[in-house]
Structure 1
Amino acid sequence: MTATHSLAAEALTLGYGDRTVIDELDLVVPPGRITAIVGANACGKSTLLRSMSRLLAPRGGQVLLDGKAVHRLPAKELARTLGLLPQSPIAPEGITVADLVGRGRHPHQGVFTRWRREDDEAVAAALEATQTTTLADRPVDELSGGQRQRVWIAMALAQQTDLLLLDEPTTFLDVAHQVEVLDLLTDLNRARGTTVVMVLHDLNMAARYADHLVALAAGRVHAAGTPEDVLTEDHVRAVFGLDSRVIVDPTSERPLMLPIGRHHMAAAAPRDVVRQVG
């Protein structure tokens, strides 16, 4: 169970070239829970996730996995504990779905270890969970964007790590498949205790599925806590510059954000039209 694993950032500073994106950020990921990172475009969400998976070295501070700096851990040791689905993964040309998903088993294989029954079972389970079994023999580059995204998620699941980081896992998916993927991650969390950290643009999806929300603004944590604590009208205004109304979702009983646009009043029907319809 992942309750034995801890993931945290301490005074983490990240950037590209002369630009600082994350500035002395502190963050503790609740073990065994689902965390969603939200924020405006270019606020550092993907940059933070890249550093937590050690794809980006920090300029200052550190990311700690079980108290050890991730950038000092051996690659395979880290990959057996922590998996990453980046925002725009690239598959080798001509590779089939089954072969790509099978690459998720690489961290579990040694120099002289052959493919085992457990590997077959892990790949089959990942394909079934993402509803991509029928695509197993097809080249990845022939798939639609939504199909490719589900295949990449299958590869991450086949890795069978205790911590799973996903950067926009619902990209390219229609609403029905977005819900299926987030339901799948919830099932994985509930059944195995997998710690899930994901970047999401959709605030309402984040509030509905996450146990813990982290709102970034200007390279720092603006707010962190339960969806009820973070998804408030004041926080939405501060982080996104957006006026909104936050109500209780009657289905999930989680906060539901309703944006207020500049022309929202224009959509109201004239009273005489309302009377005619009624």
Structure 2
Amino acid sequence: MTTSHTLVVEDLAVGYKDRAVLERLDLAVPPGRITAIVGANASGKSTLLRSMSRLLAPRAGAVLLDGRSVHRMHAKELARTLGLLPQSPVAPEGITVADLVGRGRNPHQGLFSRWSAADDAAVAAALDATHTAGLAERPVDELSGGQRQRVWIAMALAQQTDLLLLDEPTTFLDVSHQVEVLDLLTDLNRARGTTIVMVLHDLNLAARYADHLVALAGGRLHAAGAPADVLTEDCVRTVFGLESRVITDPTCGKPLVLPLGRHHTSGSPRG
């Protein structure tokens, strides 16, 4: 299965008050693939994701879902196709894990429809996939940061959209849980053909898990394409201001970035 939905950014300009963040940006998200957005702090990564999910209105240009502006679609209609996990979501005070994950089913509820067996199944599957079923009756505000992050991902999965946008989904997670979450998203992509777009800080995880990389620099698109084409030493230097060596990851054949520093360069003394 591969989703046939298209998500395209055309000549997009976005800003906050008098500050421009994104300028004249064009981007086509490959359907049915995993796209990772990378860039330095304040490069516009989260702003782009928020614009793609219509949380931010553009100053110019458009975000088109299947040729229609997302900013002109009814919120519930959009939410049945496109889901978003923002960077710092806030849960209502005292809400349990099961109730929060169940809110992912809201776009599928009509004005007079009742909770169904399909809704139960979607929530149960999302809890199982994120290993949070044992937390179902716990209040979300009593969980650790890593547990909360997995619960939010479960809510996004319960929404069962064909496109899923995630802003730093590995935040608050240790390395093993970061890999677990990215494996989970890969499973979702391969099993359902879900188009996934996520902002990641870790370049090596982005290169390993993404089919398509988008590198932003100063609010503009610097490069987009396969990880091997985008993640070069010149790109890392331009986008991050970092000298590096890029080699082939022996575990997957993707690019592997080795940062250089004053104390860790070839021939530098130890100590």
Q: TM-score range by the shorter chain?
A: over 0.9
- 1:89-238 maps to which residues of 2 (within 5 A)? 89-238=89-238
Deviation, structure 1 residue 263: 2.0
Residue 40 of structure 1: aligned partner: 40
CA deviations on 1:189-233 (whole Å, 9 max, x unpaired) are: 000000000000000000000000000001111000000001100
Runs of 5+ consecutive residues of structure 2 not aligned to the other structure: none
- Does structure 1 conserve the Cα–Cα contact (< 8 Å) formed by 2:263 and 2:269? no
The equivalent residue for 1:263 is: 263
1:276 paired residue number? none
Deviation at 1:3, TM superposition (A): 3.3
SS of the residue 2:101 aligns to? helix
CA deviation after TM superposition for structure 1 residue 264, in Å: 1.6
State the match for 2:248 in structure 1.
Answer: 248
What residue number does 1:58 align with? 58
Structure-2 change in CA distance of 1:17 and 1:264 (3 Å) = same
Q: Deviations over 1:147-171 (max 9, x none)?
A: 0000000000000000000000000
Give the match for residue 23 of structure 1: 23
Distance 1:78 1:269 in 2: 56
- Opposite residue 199 of structure 2, the aligned amino acid is V
Q: CA deviation at 1:267?
A: 6.3
Does the residue aligned with 1:93 lie in a helix, a strand or coil?
A: coil
Distance 1:134 1:19, change over 3 A: same
Instruction: State the Cα distance separating 1:89 from its structure 2 match.
Output: 0.1
TM-score normalized by the length of structure 1: 0.95
Q: Figure out how many residues of one structure are paired with residues of the other and give that number.
A: 270
Q: Where does the alignment leave 5 or more consecutive residues of structure 1 unmatched?
A: 271-278
TM-score, normalisation: structure 2:
0.98
Distance in 2 of aligned mates of 1:73 and 1:112: 22
Letter in 1 for 2:110: G
Structure (1 or 2) with the greater helix fraction: 1
CA distance in 2, matches of 1:262, 1:240: 16
What are the residue-to-residue correspondences of 1:78-89 with 2, within 5 Å? 78-89=78-89
The Cα offsets for residues 107-128 of structure 1, whole Å up to 9 and x where unpaired, read as 0000100000000000000000
Contact 2:3/2:162, CA 8 A, preserved across alignment = no
| Higher-Rg member (1/2) | 1
Root mean square deviation of aligned Cα:
1.1
Q: Give the match for residue 7 of structure 1.
A: 7
Runs of 4+ in 1 over 6 A off after TM superposition: none
Q: Give the Å deviation of 1:4.
A: 1.4
Q: Which amino acid in 2 is paired with 1:89?
A: P
Q: CA deviation at 1:101?
A: 0.1
SS of equivalent residue, structure 1 residue 25: strand
Q: CA deviation at 1:243?
A: 0.3
Aligned sequence identity (%): 79
Shift of 1:252: 1.1
The aligned amino acid for 1:262 is R
- Please list the CA deviations of residues 245-264 of structure 1 after superposition, one character each: whole Å capped at 9, or x if unmatched: 00001001110000001222
Q: Tell me how far 1:39 sits from its aligned partner.
A: 0.1
Q: Secondary structure at the match of 1:4?
A: coil
Number of the residue aligned with 1:70 = 70
One-letter identity of the residue aligned with 2:168:
E
The 3 A distance-change label for structure 1 pair 156 and 209 is same
